[in-house]
Chains A and B, each alone.
Chain A
Amino acid sequence: MSINLQNVTYVYMSKTPFEKVAIKNINIEIKQGEFVGIIGHTGSGKSTLVQHLNGLLKPTSGTVTIGEQNIHSKGQAARQAKSRVGMVFQYPEHQLFEETVYEDIAFGPRNLGIPEDEIDSRVKKALNFVGLDFEKYAQRTPFQLSGGQMRRVAIAGVIALEPEYLILDEPSAGLDPRGRDEIFGQIINLYEATGMTVVLVSHNMEDVAKMANRLLVMKDGEISLDGTPKDIFQNYQVELKQAGVDAPPLTLLMNKFKQRGLDVDNTVIATDAAADSIFDAVRRC
C-alpha cells in the first residue's frame, strides 16, 4: 500500500489574473514505512503538494491514489482511503476548539465513529506519545497551555486518528530550539514505535536530515531531487543551492575539513558521529 501521485498539477485561482501554478507534473510514490522529508524554499509548493496526499486539494490535472483507490472518486472507499492519512497543518494549535484537552483529542476519533472506551484509550496513547501527562492535562482547557504544549495537544489530536500515514507541515515553526527538539524526538519515537509512514515538510535542512530516510527537494513547484539525505547532501550541493536550501551546517563543516585535507567522513549527519569522525581523523594525522 502506497500513496501515488501521477502527473499532478495544481493551479491556484485558475482563470483569474491571480492565477498561479503551485505544483506541476508531480510523479511520486510514497511507500509504506518511509520517513519522507520534503524541503524547499518558501513558495516552492511543499504545502500544496502534501495537501494532495489526503485529498484536501483536488489536482487541476493528474490523479492521486492510495493503494488502488483513487481518492477523488465518489463513495465510501475513497473516504476510507483518505482517513488513512493524518495531516498536521502549520501552526496546528490554531485549530483547537474544545473546552478540554481530552475532548479536543477525542474529536477526530469520534467523527470516525469509534466507540467511547476505545476513544479513551486512544486519547491516553496519543497524549503519551506527545509527552503530556494524561492525569495532569486531560481535563484542562487547551487555551491556557503554553504554545508548545498546545501544539502537542493538536498533534495528539491527529495521532489519535491512528493514521497509517502521518503528514506534518512545518511542525516546529515558531517553537524555540528546545520545543523543536522535543517535538522531533516524539515524532521519531512515534515512527519507530508504530511503523507509521511519516511525511515531514520543512524548510530547515538540519531537522529533516536527521530523521528522514528519503528526501524530496522542491523547486518552483517541481521535485528537483529525490534520494537519501546522505546522497543528496553529498552529490547535489549545487542543485540544493539552486533550490534555495543549504546542506545542513554539519555537512558543510565536514566538507570544509575534507577540502583542507583532513580525512573525515563527510556523510555523517548526527553531531556525535561527526565528533567521532573528526577525532579519529585528527588522531590518524
Chain B
Amino acid sequence: MLGQYFPGTSLIHLLDPRTKIISTILFISSIFLAETYQAYSILTIFIGIIIAVAGIPLSMILRSLKPLWMIIVLTLLIHIFSTPGTILYKMGPLAATQEGIRQGLFMTIRLIFLIIVSSLLTFTTSPIALTDGIERLLKPFKKIGLPAHELAMMMTIALRFIPTLLEETDRIMKAQMARGADFTSGNLLRRARNMIPLLVPLFISAFRRADELATAMEARCYRGGDQRTRMKQLQITSRDWLAYGILCIVIGALIVVKINVK
C-alpha cells in the first residue's frame, strides 16, 4: 500500500493534483532512461530536492520502502548472480560478476526511486484531491464510454472507508480478544479458522455501511456525474507550469546524458 497523506503547505502540496499525477508518470518513465552513474546522480539530486521541498521526514520515506524490502533485496541478488561478465566471486554454481553488481545496483535504485516517487504523490496529495485529479484526467475518455466520474467516486468511497474499516477491524479484534480469541498463534489452517470471528462481523458491518451510504446518497439526490458542479474547481496556475518546466529540464538532462555518455 502506498504511503498515507502527510498534510502540509509546501510548494509540492499546493500543486494541482493533475500536475502531480502527470509529472509522476512522466518522471517514472524517465527513470528508465537512466543507465549511467551520471544519470542516477541527476535523479538522486532531483528526488532529494523534491523531498526537501515537500518537507516529508526521511523516516516516512523509509517507512514506505519497508513493505517492499524483500523484493528490493531479491532484485539485487538476482542481478548480481545472473548477469554474465567478469567473475568476482564464485559460490558453487553461482557467480557474482562485476557487471552484475552494477546492473543490480542500478535496478535496485530504480525500484527504490519508483516507490519513493509514487509515495511522494500520495504523501503530498490528499485522497480527495487525488481522485479529483484522476477524474479530470479521465474525462476525455468519457467519449469512448469510460465512466470517469463513477470510477473516481468509487475510489473516493474506497479511500474514505479504509480508515473506517481499519478502525472497525481493530475494534472487533479487541472485542474478540477480550473474549479469549487468539489471532496470532497456531498453524496456517488454525489461524485462518481463528479469523472467522473477525471476518464475519467485519463483512456484516461493511455491507451495512455500504447500504446506509447508498441510502444517504440517494436521499441527497445523487445520480452520477452528469452536470455535476464542484465546490473546489481545479485550477492550473503558474506554479504548475513552473513544475512542468523544471521536470522538462530534468528529463532533457537525462536524455542528453544518455546520448553523450556511454
**Which residues of A are interface residues toward B (Cβ below 8 A)?**
15, 17, 51, 54, 56, 83, 85-87, 89-90, 92, 94-97, 107-108, 110-112, 143, 157-158, 161
Contacts and interface: CB of A to CB of B under 8 A. Distances in A.
B179 A108 contact: yes
A68 B179 CA distance: 23
Q: Is the interface of B mostly helix, strand, loop or mixed?
A: helix
Given A17-B6, A17-B7, A143-B204, A95 B180 contact: no
21 contacts: A17-B6, A56-B174, A56-B177, A83-B180, A85-B178, A89-B171, A89-B175, A90-B171, A94-B171, A94-B172, A94-B175, A94-B204, A97-B197, A97-B201, A107-B179, A107-B180, A107-B181, A111-B179, A111-B181, A158-B178, A161-B179
A219 B64 CA distance: 36
Contacts of A95: 172, 175-176, 197, 201
A89 B174 contact: yes
Contacts of B197: 95, 97, 107
Contacts of B178: 54, 56, 85-87, 89, 158
A162 to B, nearest CB: 12
A161 B171 CA distance: 19
Nearest to A110: B180
Contacts of B7: 17
Given A97-B197, A97-B201, A87 B182 contact: no
B188 interface: no
Given A17-B6, A97-B200, A112 B180 contact: yes
Given A97-B200, A107-B197, A92 B175 contact: yes
Given A17-B6, A97-B200, A108 B174 contact: no
A230 to B, nearest CB: 32
A161 B178 CA distance: 10
B159 interface: no
A199 to B, nearest CB: 13
Contacts of B201: 94-97
B44 interface: no
Contacts of B36: none
Contacts of A51: 174
B38 interface: no
Contacts of A110: 180
B14 to A, nearest CB: 17
A108 B178 CA distance: 8
Contacts of B182: 111
Contact of A87 (B168, B172, B175, B200): B175
Contacts of A85: 178
Contacts of B168: 94
Nearest to B4: A16
